[in-house]
Structure 1
Amino acid sequence: MHFSKEDCLKFVRENDVRFIRLQFTDISGRMKNIAITDKQLANAFENGVMFDGSAVAGFTGVEASDMFLFPDPDTFAIIPWRPQQGKVVRLICDIKNHDGSQFEGDPRFILKRTLKKAEDLGYTFQVGPECEFFLFYNDDEGQPTTITHDSASYCDLAPIDQGENTRREICMILEEMGFEIEASHHETAAGQHEIDFKYTDALTAADNIMTFKMVVKSIAQRNGLHATFMPKPLPGVNGSGMHINMSLTRNGINLFKQDEIENDISETAKHFTAGLLSHIKGITAIANPLVNSYKRLKSGFEAPVHIAWSHMNRSPLLRVPAPRGEATRLELRSPDPTCNPYLTLALVLEAGLEGLKNHLPLADPINVNIYNLTSEQEKDLKLERLPSNLFLALEEMKKDPLIHSTLGEHTFNKYLAAKTLEWEAYDNSIHSWEIEKYLKTY
């Protein structure tokens, strides 16, 4: 359902809405929020709501810190778990500078800019994310632990799957907020879950990912649990990914489908894939933004390591799932749910568009299991690897002009600076493994 400003104001007046949450996302992919009362909504639409941009990661300095949130009426949604008397709604916002100009570092704007480029070429970018997360117990002080509340595995049922009720409640809340839930199930690791929602245009998909994370955390908390999207909270088991299913359409027709050759994909899909694979090393610092992200991208835990593609084989970085025809899509398997979805989708699309523009050739698919290759087998197949830690990913990001041009000068430099500090803080720390391994021995 689409809302105009007038629709929002009318709904607020007629449905006992008292508070409005104005939401936006910082460059690290964390949701931020300013609340206003119903009386201020009309002014927010007209003049924006001021906030201190210098207090938000990656935005601006104190010398020009007054920034404004302008709510997007099309993102209007009731927050169902808040009181039904004096309801609370949310609106996702675009960000402007104090002089009314567009803030170049707004992640949502960066995605919109790339989508406009695709639109001018006649393309619509469709995205369906698959978001995984863990549910853990809290301790007696309410702090999260890494103790899971079940011992279930892939697609198990209650009573082994102790998270079934929480997962069902999350799905019902999401549906109340306008999501179309396609599937939900217990994932491979104990305490790990996945909920998939229907594909849509990329901007709505990015907004939905941010809303999804907010709902999962809020409903878990209501059930006395802690939900985390940390990519690898437990050693020795699978981590949490955010696979991105994607297609390009024109006038409602899927441009990735191949009608003539069974199980094949179109030349458009092949060029798009080639562009994406050629830039994936540089994209990785955005799609996998934490030190911890690279603990997930290891062989043996169903996460991709090598830069390759396949038809249905799940071990390469990118695959083409079985459905064909209008359901033909690409599935990028490396991103994790801590990424900023606006920046990640913008980069994925820009890389694919470059592949189309330059008619990049696509290497042959890899149709064998490549999770546990020897170095010799890797060499024979001429496979390259994803960066193995955040430092190497940032080095790849620096080398790729497409990352710089897509993010823009402001966000590129701010992101690089913040993540370099994060890596240095980790690299300068002494970890418990080192103490256990070396203190007595040496």
Structure 2
Amino acid sequence: MSEVSGIWVCPENNALEAAQNFLTAHQVSYLLVQFVDMHGSVKSKSVPVECLEGLTIEGAGFAGAAVQGFDMSPQDPEYMLIADLKTLRLLPWMPGYASLRGEGTVAGEICHMDSRNVLAAQTERLQRRGWRMMTGLEPELYLLRRDENGAVVPFDSTDVMKHPAYDYRGITRNTEFLEGMHQSLKKVGLEVYQIDHEDANGQFEMNFKYDEAMQSADNILFFKMAAREIANNMGAIASFLPKLNADTTGNGMHVHCSMVDGSGTNLFQDDSDPSGMGLSKLAYHFIAGVMQHAKALCALLCPSVNSYKRLMVGTAERPSWAPVFIAYGDNNRSAMVRIPYGRLEVRIGDSAMNPYLATAAIIAAGLDGVDRELAAPEPQSLNFYDLSLQAIADMGVERLPENLNDALDELDADSVLKDALGPDLVNSFIKLKRHEWHEYHRAVSEWEIERYLTFY
């Protein structure tokens, strides 16, 4: 524990006393006790710091019927969040506050509709084998504002280049936000190692060091909170919308995965791999499982109507960085899985995904490949966007679902993912997202007005 930096390391003994001392040293008055709904949206209660001990025993109570996706009724017992002191973090942008996550329960039993619990169940499957999944999630976001006409535009009014990727001005003219983010993450122990302006106007990516799967998912939720609040304090909007408009690239959330044993050895890496990709037999089986369940995974990693505006085939003028083809290859960014030597990067996900559900689903899909010893197809290191759709089909390479409804059909039919994540949770997710899909189809867009107003 470093009281100067604000980084909390939970000791094995006397954790409660140590946490109380840490909070006192940092003048914390309130604790935000937090969990996520099915969408991955953060839900909280503010609790006076004097009540910390009770949070670790009885927990904080929430009306589960008010939480989207929990499928609870007003007469049901409360959803209780039992705080885990290992998750304690200061909120650097909000002096006097800290956050806590934990285990959700209902009537003293594990709440299986709590997606963090679902990820915990999948990591426990790995632990029984002596394995741990390490993940590195790469969040992208738009930094925006509304102009005098109410239109959503980049926060930096000079960010107007046609191809602004890596332009230095994207960094130098947005330092208030980027440095604020970096310093906030650094103060709580997230090791940021690169920041860049992405391919869309107002779009940024900030990468921080990988960690165990649960910690990485927690980190992403912390990152999103920090981005939204720091942007709001500037009069800006930090948006994780997958696709802002047809002419820009979307906000991806690539998931880097490696499996380690108790000593930290990467079980996905084998330097003797004849392909040169440095993959072990275990890694190939895992990849085969991910590809086997790719269409169903899409519903969880690309969970919004808007997500499928991002999953489009690119052009020479505007290449797509969101792969739609179910394939993998050495450093191939046009395939759904890229191999950066000795690990894999699942590239289909976007910044709207619930990181707990998405990670749990990747683990479940990969383990199905491992348990059944599925054989991965041949890697494809070509650029799929150079080929016609027919040529790709002739190669036996399928594409991901083209809309949310089709992806939900695939998830509904995938008994392996349903059993692994829990049938009740998956059915609730599907019901919630079907409603979203139906609402979308009831809405009349500006495109329809412009196209059809005098067309007929």
TM over 0.5: yes
Q: 1:392 to 1:433 in 2, by over 3 A?
A: same
- Name the residue aligned to 1:79: 91
Aligned equivalents of 1:151, 1:169: Cα separation in 2? 23
Deviation at 1:110, TM superposition (A): 0.3
For residues 425 and 156 of structure 1, the distance between their equivalents in structure 2, rounded to whole angstroms, comes to 39
Aligned with 1:260 (options 261, 268, 272): 272
After superposition, the C-alpha distances for 1:79-114 in whole angstroms (9 at most, x for unaligned) are: 11123xxx11111132111x2111111111000001
CA contact (8 A) 2:93 2:226 kept: no
Extract structure 1 runs of 4+ deviating beyond 4 A: none
Question: For structure 1, which runs of at least 5 residues remain unmatched after alignment?
Answer: none
The answer as to whether partners of 2:155 and 2:236 remain within 8 angstroms in 1 is no
- Alpha-carbon distance in structure 2 between the residues aligned to 1:368 and 1:51: 51
Give the aligned partner of residue 114 of structure 1.
122
The equivalent residue for 1:302 is 321
After superposing the two structures, state which structure 1 stretch, 273-282 or 152-161, moved more: 152-161
Matches within 5 A, 1:179-258: 179-251=190-262, 252-258=264-270
CA distance in 2, matches of 1:131, 1:14: 32
Q: Which of 13, 30, 41 in structure 2 is aligned with 1:19?
A: 30
Give the Cα–Cα distance (whole angstroms) in 2 for the partners of residues 159 and 37 of structure 1. Answer: 40
| CA deviation profile, 1:14-71 (whole Å, cap 9, x unmatched) | 4322111101111111001100111211111121111111111112211204121111
| Post-superposition offset of 1:345 | 0.3
User: Using the alignment, how far apart are the partners of 2:39 and 2:257 within structure 1?
Assistant: 23
Give the 3-state SS of the residue equivalent to 2:283 in structure 1.
helix
1:148: Cα distance to partner?
A: 4.6
SS in structure 2 opposite 1:254? coil
Aligned amino acid, residue 186 of structure 2: E
Q: What residue in structure 2 maps to residue 413 of structure 1?
A: 427
* Structure 1 pair 260–372 and aligned structure 2 pair: CA distance change class (3 A): closer
Which of 105, 120, 136 is the matching residue for 1:96?
105
Q: Report SS of the residue matched to 1:348.
A: helix
Cα offset for 1:159?
A: 6.6
Kindly indicate whether the alpha-carbon contact (under 8 Å) linking 1:148 and 1:190 is maintained by their aligned counterparts in 2.
no
Question: Could you tell which deviates more after superposition, 386-395 or 399-408?
Answer: 399-408
Amino acid at match of 2:92: P
Q: Which amino acid letter does the alignment assign opposite residue 105 of structure 2?
A: K
1:151 to 155, 160, 183: 160
Q: Which amino acid aligns with 1:11?
A: F
How far off is 1:139 after superposition? 4.2
Equivalent in the alignment of 1:434: 448
Aligned to 2:61: 50
Residue 161 (structure 1) shift? 5.3
Distance 1:360 1:227, change over 3 A: same
2:417 counterpart (403, 419, 433): 403
Distance in 1 (alpha carbons) for counterparts of 2:170 and 2:398: 43
Letter in 1 for 2:110: Q
Aligned residue in 1 for 2:335: 316
| 2:431 maps to 1:425 | no
Cα offset, 1:147, TM superposition:
4.1
How far apart, in 1, do the equivalents of 2:449 and 2:271 lie? 59
Residues 138, 224 of structure 1: 8 Å contact kept = no
Matched, 1:353 2:353: no
Q: Compute the displacement of 1:372 (Å).
A: 4.8
Superposition TM-score, scaled by structure 2 size: 0.91
SS at match of 2:168: coil
What is the one-letter code of the residue matched to 2:9? H
Deviation at 1:361, TM superposition (A): 0.5
Match of 2:393 in 1: 379
In the TM superposition, residue 10 of structure 1 has moved relative to its aligned partner by 2.2
Q: Which amino acid aligns with 2:177?
A: T
Separation of aligned partners in 1, 2:57 and 2:374: 46
Partner amino acid, structure 2, of 1:96 = T
Would you say the 8 A contact 1:19–1:36 is kept in 2?
yes
Aligned residues: 432
- The 8 Å contact of residues 311 and 402 in structure 2, kept in 1 or not, is answered as yes
Contact 1:317 1:334 in 2 (8 A): yes
Q: Give yes or no for contact 1:299–1:372 (8 Å, CA) kept in 2.
A: no
Whether the 8 Å CA contact 1:166–1:220 is kept in 2: the answer is: yes
Letter of the 1:433 partner, please give it.
Answer: W
The separation in 1 between residues aligned to 2:349 and 2:436, in whole angstroms, is 19
Q: Distance in 1 between matches of 2:142 and 2:46?
A: 29
TM superposition shift of 1:264: 3.5
CA distance in 1, matches of 2:285, 2:169: 44
Q: Residue 123 of structure 1: CA displacement?
A: 1.1
Cα 1:5/1:402, change in 2 over 3 Å: farther
Deviations 1:342-401 (A, max 9, x none): 011001011111111111001011111002531321122111010000010000011101
**Are residues 1:390 and 2:404 paired?**
yes
Q: Distance in 1 between matches of 2:198 and 2:305?
A: 23
Contact 1:275–1:351 (CA<8 Å) still a contact in 2?
yes
The residue type paired with residue 385 of structure 1 is: R
One of 151, 157, 173 as aligned partner of 1:162: 173
Residue pair 1:134, 1:191 contacting (<8 A) in 2 also: yes
Structure 2 residue identity aligned to 1:311: D
Verify the 8 A CA contact 1:276 1:352 in the aligned structure 2.
yes
AA in 2 matched with 1:170: M
For each residue in 1:268-322, what CA deviation from the matched residue of structure 2 results, as whole angstroms up to 9, or x when unmatched?
Answer: 111100000100111111110100000000011221011000011211010101x
Identity of aligned residues (%): 34
In structure 2, runs of 5+ residues without a counterpart are 1-7, 315-319
Aligned to 2:303: 289
SS of 2:75's partner is helix
- Taking the aligned partners of 2:88 and 2:34, their CA distance within structure 1 comes to 11
TM-score using structure 1 length: 0.94
1:334 and 2:334 aligned: no
